[in-house]
Structure formats: C-alpha cells, structure tokens
Amino acid sequence: MSPQTESFFEYLRFPSISTDSKYKRDVENCADWLIGRFKGMGLSAEKYPTPKHPVVVAKSEPKKDRPTVLIYGHYDVQPVDPVEEWDTPPFEPTLIDGRVFCRGATDNKGQNFAHILGVEEALKSDGELPVNVIFLLEGEEEIGSPNLTPFLGANRELLAADICAVSDTGMIAPGVPTMTYGLRGIGCLEFVVRGPALDLHSGVYGGAVANPAQVVAKLVASLHDDKGRVQVPGFYDKVIPLEQWERDMWAKLPDGNAATMKETGAPGIWGEEGYTALERRWGRPTAEVNGIGGGYQGEGSKTVIPREAMAKLSFRLVPDQDPQEIISAAAKFIEEQIGDDCRIEMDPGHDGTAYVMDPHSKFGDAAQRALKATFNDEPRLIREGGSIPIIQSIKDILGIDTLMLGLALPDCQIHAPNENFTIENFEAGIRLNQNLLKELAGA
C-alpha cells in the first residue's frame, strides 16, 4: 500500500460522527490528527474550539505576489446505521476491487484528503506553492454547520482569500470531469400530532376520536398536488426559473430519467410535471418526508389508536427561496389544517440557502481547465440537489465564490451502508488539485 493510501486509512479510522455525542472524543481526535498531518507537511495549523466540534485551519506561508485559495471540507461523517447492512466494518477501511469501503470514504474525507495530498505533492515537487492555500476543515457539516457561520464572521481576516474550492459533490460518471455550479438549499421541520391521553382500544373508541396517525398521513399527503407541485402557499413565489441554456445543456447529458432509475433502483420516476428527472433533482424545489411514525410497528396486528404520531420533513430549495420563510410557511400550512380534535407541536430544524455561481467566471474557467487537464475531456457543467449550507455563507461573509470539483460517483453510497471511494478517483483527485493550484495561479 502506498504511504498516501496508508495515511488515508488512518484518517478514515476515526469514527467522527458529528450528530451523536458518544463520538465527541473521536471527532476531537480526528481534528488533532489533521493538525499533525498539516504540520508534518510544513503548513501552520490550528484547532479552534466551538460550542460543539472544532474547526481546523491550516495555512501555507503567505506570499504577497499570488492569489489565495480557501479549501473547504468536512472531517465529520454520517452515522453508520443500519450497521448490519455493511459488508465490512464501517470504520475499518477495506480495499476491494479498487474501491475503499468505509464511512466517510467519499463524503468527505477521501475528497478533502485528495486536496491535502495535492498540496503536499506540489510542495514536494516544487518546494513552494503557486498560490497561497488556506485549509478550512469543519466537524459539523453533517449537522448543518451550526458553528461555522459565526466562525467565518469572527475570522474574516484569518480566512481572507480570492476564491474557495471544495470537493464535496459528484461526477456524473467515472472519468467524466464534472463541475458543479449550483446546490440546493434546505429547510427542515418536524412535527408531532397528539390526540388521546393514552393509546386506546380502537374498537371501543374508534370512529369517535381523531387518530393521530391518520392525521399525520393526511397532513403529509396535503404537501403535494397530483402534478407533484408543493401546495404550501407562496412556496414558488421566489423561485428563479431554470434558464433555457441550462435545460439545453442538461438535455445533452446521458438520459437522466434512466440514470435516476438505475442509480436508485426505483421502478419509475416521479415528480413535478413539466420537468425531467435531472431538472427536478438539480433545479427545482421539493418537499420530502424523511421519517414518519406512530402506532404499532411490530409483528401481527394490534388494534390500537396511537396517542401520538410524527413526521420529519425537509424542503430542498433553489435560488431565491428563503429557508426561514419556507419553514414558517410550511408550519403555518400544516397547523391550519389541525382542528380542535387534536394538538400539534412544531419543531423547526436546521436550514441552508441554495447557491449558484457563474461557471464561466475567471476562476470558473481556470477550474474547467484543471478538470480538462486531469481527465482529458471537456468538463460537464451541472447543478446538484444536495446541500452544503456553508457555501452561500462563504459568499455572504467572505465575499468569494466557490468552485465545486467533486469526485463522488453515482454508486459511492454516501450516507448509506457500504460507502466507498474508488482509488482511481482518489488518485485523480490528487492530480486535479495540483492542476487546480497551477491554473488558479495563472487566472
């Protein structure tokens, strides 16, 4: 195994799950490991505590005559559940057929480590970097970056840069260079419907009191009309429509409807009438139920009216929707449907604003040249449906755009069991980042 892969495996072995406080020490240890790694390659590095997980900042020695690149990534990972569906231990990196299986392999340790190694290689071969580099690695991305936005505000000078680069998005297929110029935003909302004071016999009381599970089902069903449009009043008011050049460009990509079915295993596609699967995923807002529960879930039947039921919703948003406005509008829409036969409790969750940049800006063109040099093919320009809320904050607070040069493949299983990253992309990522530094220096 190459020393680079060995070092990558060390990084992957930290179970740095940000959402579960049981892993707090592991998140911290992972940040310490990064500090050691950065210092070992000659960068200055510091760990900044926050109310939850630390931020790691590392810098090359600044030179006056060159632009500064801020490289953002996250070292926290998603939980591993359902753990029984993993074929290998989730935190023991395992190399099978050219793929490293491990939680965090793609999202995001593999991708940010390719940036780190790209810088290390450039330093080794040239003794210096063509640009100034600032690494910003956080431990809270998977929980909505609650402490990074204030950190940006409090550290404008420390993080001052000309452009930001992030590898935390996808490639449309292996070997196909892909630049992501937009991401959806997000707004989360949970609610619990409460009815009787205790679970009831459904024969004795059924038909005479509201059943919270049925109420939740009705509320959830009310979110969409039969054309797949979200029915929350005002939901589409601020939506910027897709531009014709984007629709034309995406129509030239391999059939997105078929790809969506193949990647997901769903027997058909579904969604807002008038849009292709790629347009629905990348450029249109949605309402999703991420979880729903209530009543008897065990084997056989149990004739009961549950005393409560719940649902967890998230809305994926596009420019210029305001996440807080959408969460409030959705809460109001749901609450107004509740009569006096039950009660509802709303719990708004985290949010993030959508982001779109100009892929043909000076730095955008430089990133495209780096992609072309690495993969020997014309870059495809896409938007994506996932969210990285801090990217818009980087724009708002630090005043710079972000180049998204992701390396996730459609079958890398991020957030799911058997997450994996191909060695091919790991190595391509290292070269891509070396090329990026050179191209940005000349931009």
Tell me the closest approach of the beta carbon of residue 74 to Zn ion, in angstroms. Answer: 8
Select from 105-113, 304-312, 340-348, 426-434 the region that touches Zn ion (CB under 5 A): 105-113
Tokens of 148: 């990074």
Rule CB under 6 A: is residue 186 a binding residue for ligand BES?
A: yes
Contact 357/225 with Cβ under 8 angstroms?
no
**Residue 162 touches Zn ion, criterion: CB under 5 A:** no
Which of Zn ion, ligand BES, none does residue 352 bind to, with CB < 5 to 8 Å depending on kind? ligand BES
76 contacts ligand BES (rule: CB under 6 A): no
d(CA 168, CA 294): 35
Give the one residue of 352, 359, 379, 429 binding ligand BES; rule: CB under 6 A.
Answer: 352
For 26, the enclosing helix (H) or strand (E) is helix 24-40
Of 141, 162, 246, 439, the residue at the interface with ligand BES (CB under 6 A) is: 141
- Contact partner at residue 435 from Zn ion, ligand BES, none, CB < 5 to 8 Å by partner kind: none
Number of residues that bind ligand BES (CB under 6 A): 18
Residue 405 is a binding residue for ligand BES (CB under 6 A): no
If one asks whether residue 107 binds Zn ion (CB under 5 A), the answer comes out as yes
b/e map 317-347, b = 16+ CB within 10 Å: bbbebbbeebbbbbbebbeeeeeeebebeee
Is residue 326 a contact residue for ligand BES (CB under 6 A)?
no
* Shortest distance (Å) from residue 375 CB to ligand BES: 18
As a whole number of angstroms, the distance between CA 416 and CA 326 comes to 28
* Under 8 Å between Cβ of 56 and 35: yes
- Closest CB to ligand BES among residues 19, 303: 19
Query: Beta strand 308-317 with 185-194: parallel, antiparallel or unpaired?
Result: antiparallel
Q: Which is nearer to ligand BES, 308 or 355 (CB)?
A: 355
Q: How many angstroms separate the Cα of 53 from the Cα of each of 30, 75, 138, 267, 351?
A: 11, 10, 8, 41, 18
Q: Report the partner that residue 308 touches, choosing among Zn ion, ligand BES, none (CB closer than 5 to 8 A by kind).
A: none
Q: Is 231 exposed, middle or buried, given 0-12, 13-18 or 19+ CB atoms closer than 10 A?
A: exposed
Under a CB-based contact definition with an 8 Å cutoff, are residues 109 and 77 in contact? yes
Taking CB under 6 A as the criterion, the residue among 120, 138, 140, 168 binding ligand BES is: 168
Single out the segment in contact with ligand BES by CB under 6 A; choices: 51-59, 162-170, 284-292, 332-340.
162-170
Positions touching ligand BES (CB under 6 A) are 107-108, 141-142, 144, 168-170, 183, 186, 350, 352, 384, 386-389, 408
